[in-house]
A and B are shown apart, each in its own frame.
Chain A
């Protein structure tokens, strides 16, 4: 998150003391929010003994062991056997040899990660696509029972989605959607689409109808006008909506845990159960978590300006 210097247009300008207070408050919150993230980042670079040492180590010797472990399966061997293998070939071999291990193959992490990417981005695309079309319809056309329909759409978010986990589990089993990527995409889309419709309807409502009317008079069809005139002006709104949808789908844990296992499992239920010797392999868990955060951070930073505009849309109209 970036703190942004703005010139106050308001008549009630904040006093210097108020600014300091606000600054301290923000800094305090940032500290609370950042410490766990920093700890995860650090743990990812610790060796397993360092990661569980007491008192916790803040200064430690960095190691890539966690990252090697999250991507590989290893097995413990006798020193004699290791001797017979000759010198380690790659840098990651060296790391595992130190613990008398040999790498036996890649772990399932990469596959789970790809599942997350496909399901997360797939459902986000679908939710935003459907949401845009529905929102346009609700915003521009006379839809019978419009208000009731909109309320119904919103009402699907009024209870936690997990409350209907059991019915969905049974339904998915019957339909053969359990543990499939398609099933997870549909599920996350269904959860996100209501949010998308409401958010995007707000954005479209802000765009004057005259824009389309001008295009229609100039010979464009309604669809062409939508594509050429409305969509480009919704960019900020679409970006903001897409991020909200992606964050939900990317981080969703409970459904993923319940509905997926061998095939379509996403990263969230997989990462916390990476087992090392004698329990959880904390550096590997932390490394997986760090890698898991990267796309969201990247995506959010990429769309930061759009997002800022999107969230404050309507508040700053000239």
Chain B
């Protein structure tokens, strides 16, 4: 159990900067998810924490101790790889006990701890089997078992569910989170899948192009994205973006074909416009509204439906209850949940300070 603190971590491969001056702290016992598109530096960061990559600069603290220059094996960290890295020439039991057999643990204890872990993961009956014939779920469990068995200070997981099919992934998400709650070890989990991140994380760290954009609990990341990138990356269907005009003190943004009331802005931008971000569930279809549009498509999704509306300012996606009846081509009005709207600086992508209760800080 330990806190992981990253200070000004920087990693460059030649001219390519994989991770740019990142700093954050993973709290003791926390389930910390690093989320971002591929190539955003999340895996590189994880590998630096594990000691598999050396940072170009910056420092890594594990439990208050500077481990930046320690070998991976000396850090007491367990790592679960994307493709599990199970040793094909060993049985399930041998795979799980592999880290213990190095640590100089007595043979009896190795056996007991292996069995204990296998029971916990419900793979006790597989211990003598070769890993070759296992289902992907069981492989996943073996990989987790190998990580747990050593009782390391922290678990690092690199897209461990990436190789599973969708249905099974949901189940493993639950299992993983349950396992984390039982073991209670600090976990850093890397994924590009926002659903995984949302369902499992205590806190999410969103990265893009080597930079940490925002760190916070899933609800905060979703409701108050710090940048336009975070806003667009999180949420499905994605947030709508409209370009418009509006300065400090404004309580509405003028867009083509209407004005959208927003929380009062505290900042002014030198020139150019702003970008309004609206999640599909924060738009209501009505007869009259702040904007007018024409229904382009209706997708029925069970409890909800997704309505795409063409307006003068662009195409908007609206999430509506399934009781609403609209036809393709019908003219409709749109109203916005003012409190939930976000305004972004188009240059930096930063969210502008506004009247939001507990506004996202720029």
A interface residues, Cβ below 8 angstroms from B: 208, 210-211, 213-221, 224, 229, 232-233, 235
Contacts and interface: CB of A to CB of B under 8 A. Distances in A.
30 contacts: A208-B85, A210-B81, A210-B82, A210-B83, A213-B50, A213-B52, A213-B72, A213-B79, A213-B81, A213-B85, A214-B79, A214-B146, A217-B50, A217-B51, A217-B75, A217-B77, A217-B79, A218-B78, A218-B98, A218-B99, A219-B73, A219-B74, A219-B103, A219-B150, A220-B73, A221-B73, A224-B102, A229-B87, A233-B87, A233-B88
B113 to A, nearest CB: 14
B62 to A, nearest CB: 13
Contacts of A224: 102
A298 B153 CA distance: 52
B141 to A, nearest CB: 16
Contacts of A229: 87
B83 A217 contact: no
B147 to A, nearest CB: 9
Contacts of A220: 73, 102
B89 interface: yes
A217 B52 CA distance: 8
Nearest to A216: B72
Contacts, number: 57
A219 B99 CA distance: 7
B119 interface: no
Contact of A219 (B81, B82, B102): B102
B164 to A, nearest CB: 16
A235 B75 CA distance: 31
Nearest to B53: A213
Contacts of B98: 215, 218
Interface of B: 50-52, 71-75, 77-79, 81-83, 85, 87-89, 98-99, 102-103, 146, 150
A313 to B, nearest CB: 13
Contacts of A211: 85, 87
B72 A217 contact: yes
A233 B86 CA distance: 12
A152 to B, nearest CB: 25
Among A210, A217, A233, A235, residue most surrounded by chain B Cβ atoms (within 10 Å): A217
B182 to A, nearest CB: 21
Among B51, B77, B85, residue most surrounded by chain A Cβ atoms (within 10 Å): B85
Among A210, A224, A235, residue most surrounded by chain B Cβ atoms (within 10 Å): A210
Contacts of B103: 219
A216 B99 contact: no
A232 B83 contact: no
A215 B150 CA distance: 13
Among B50, B77, B78, B87, residue most surrounded by chain A Cβ atoms (within 10 Å): B87
Contacts of B50: 213, 217
Contacts of B87: 211, 229, 232-233
A216 B47 CA distance: 12
B358 to A, nearest CB: 39
A121 B146 CA distance: 40
Contacts of B146: 214, 218
A231 B150 CA distance: 24
B231 to A, nearest CB: 34
B35 to A, nearest CB: 22
A219 B75 CA distance: 8
Contacts of A216: 51-52, 71-73
Contacts of B75: 217
Among A220, A221, A232, residue most surrounded by chain B Cβ atoms (within 10 Å): A220
Nearest to A212: B85
Given A216-B51, A219-B103, 14 more contacts: A208-B83, A210-B83, A211-B87, A213-B52, A213-B72, A213-B81, A214-B79, A216-B72, A217-B79, A219-B99, A229-B87, A232-B87, A232-B89, A233-B89
Nearest to B143: A214
A48 to B, nearest CB: 54
A239 to B, nearest CB: 14
Contacts of A208: 83, 85
A193 to B, nearest CB: 26
A235 B87 CA distance: 14
A175 B87 CA distance: 47
A217 B73 contact: yes
Contacts of B102: 218-220, 224
Nearest to B99: A218
Nearest to B47: A213
Nearest to A210: B85
A229 B102 CA distance: 13
